[in-house]
Structure 1
Amino acid sequence: MNLTFTALTRADLPLLGRWLTVPAVARWWADPSDPAALEREYGPRIDGRDRVPTWIVHLDNRPIGLIQWYRYSDEREYLTQMRQIVPVPGDAVSIDYLIGEESALGRGVGPEMIDRLVRQQWAVHDDAGDVVVAVHADNTRSWRALEKAGFSHAADGELDPDNPIDDRRHRIMVRRRMHHEP
């Protein structure tokens, strides 16, 4: 599978805005998609003022999704909430991801992009540990993609949902960094 990652730029924001309105994305990623909201959320990342590296995922040189990586140590409130459910090591990281092009769904792209990003980031960041991701319990497609990318179900717990229409039930998925991995 020919997947590549390019750093998010302002030129990508209109495409991201469109993706956020795709029903399969909007259901779980309930962020505003208007230009001002996108600039507020992603502008600091693009400018390097926010410590959440964010990439556009390309399949065969065509943009199909977004993925981002962040450290729990930079998200103290979230870390506190997560530690009430499952042990989260101090060096743990997490990811968020979406596939905005419906033609890329159901083809194994999600697990592949997750696995590749995790491996790439571990190769670059010696100090990054386990990847711990909370997914709404009803978002089966997302947590199945994580399973296929080497994550295991660590716990169930209650967290504030990304979409206010959802209840608080979440599956916590973990991919442990083994000593032999980069």
Structure 2
Amino acid sequence: MGDDESAAPVAFRRVGEGDFPVLGRWLAEPHVARWWNHETSMEAVARDFGASARGEEPSEDFLALVDGRAVGLVQRCRIADYAEDFAPIAALTEVPEGAAMLDYLIGAVADTGRGLGPAMVRAATDLVWRDFPDAPCVVIPVVAGNRASWRCLEKAGYRRVAEGEMEPDNPVDPPLHFVYRIDRPDR
């Protein structure tokens, strides 16, 4: 693959229990661990990703694939399905009924800086439009200090609609978050 893979098509497949070792490795990567602040033991990965893999909760986890190779993770849900996420976002900006939310990471540091993040987010947003026909928008809060993440959203066509304090995933971060949104193109 070339240095800029932003033109490479991104495909997705649901995360299964057999993917937990790769998720554990990715979560341990310093560029991921800094922002996700997640336990990386197989028990912790199984605990936190297992229910989604088994279809037992409303969120969905996907491996992002480029040329069949797993390069990242995308999580998707409807914001209203998770009150602990809905209330802090709704305190900063309007969250329309049916709004979706994504979270994402690029797994290996060697895959960062190649345009994969924006391509992955654009492709995941297209999946929201396809699979959630009543979703009017996708809303994503990002800790303000994670410049790479919010720049990724901007490159993927999202716009900043709010900023304010929310509980960060990593307690070392200040609470300032930027909230990004993209509206369904046919509305």
Q: What is the TM-score normalised by the length of structure 1?
A: 0.95
One-letter amino acid of the structure 2 residue matched with residue 148 of structure 1? K
| 1:52-63 to 2 correspondences below 5 Å | 52-63=59-70
Residues 26, 32 of structure 2: 8 Å contact kept: yes
Structure 1: distance between partners of 2:184 and 2:105: 23
What residue ranges of structure 1 are gaps of 5+ in the alignment?
none
Contact 2:92 2:164 in 1 (8 A): yes
User: CA–CA distance in 2 between the matches of 1:61 and 1:83?
Assistant: 37
Cα deviation digits, residues 115-148 of structure 1 (max 9, x gap): 0111122112211121110001010000000001
1:41 maps to what in 2? Answer: 48
Matched, 1:10 2:17: yes
Aligned to 2:143: 136
The CA deviation string for residues 22-42 of structure 1, in whole angstroms up to 9 with x for no partner, is 111000011111111111111
The correspondence for 1:175, drawn from 169, 173, 182, is: 182
Q: In the alignment, what sits opposite 1:123?
A: 130
- Secondary structure of 2:58 counterpart: coil
Amino acid across the alignment from 1:82: I
Contact in 1 for aligned 2:100/2:128 (Cα 8 Å): no
Match of 1:107 in 2: 114
Q: Distance in 1 between matches of 2:94 and 2:154?
A: 19
Mapping of 1:22-101 within 5 angstroms? 22-101=29-108
- Matched to 1:39, the amino acid is A
Partner SS, residue 65 of structure 2: strand
In structure 2, how many angstroms separate the alpha carbons of the residues matched to 1:169 and 1:71? 23
Name the structure 1 match of 2:166.
159
Give, in whole Å, the separation in 2 of the partners of 1:129 and 1:22: 34
Q: SS state of the match for residue 20, structure 1?
A: helix
Q: How many residues align?
A: 180
User: Where does the alignment leave 5 or more consecutive residues of structure 2 unmatched?
Assistant: 1-7
* Structure 1 residue 178 displacement after superposition: 2.7
Matched, 1:150 2:157: yes
Q: Which 4+ runs in 1 deviate beyond 3 A?
A: none
Secondary structure of the residue that 2:93 maps to in structure 1? coil
The sequence identity of aligned pairs, in percent, is 37
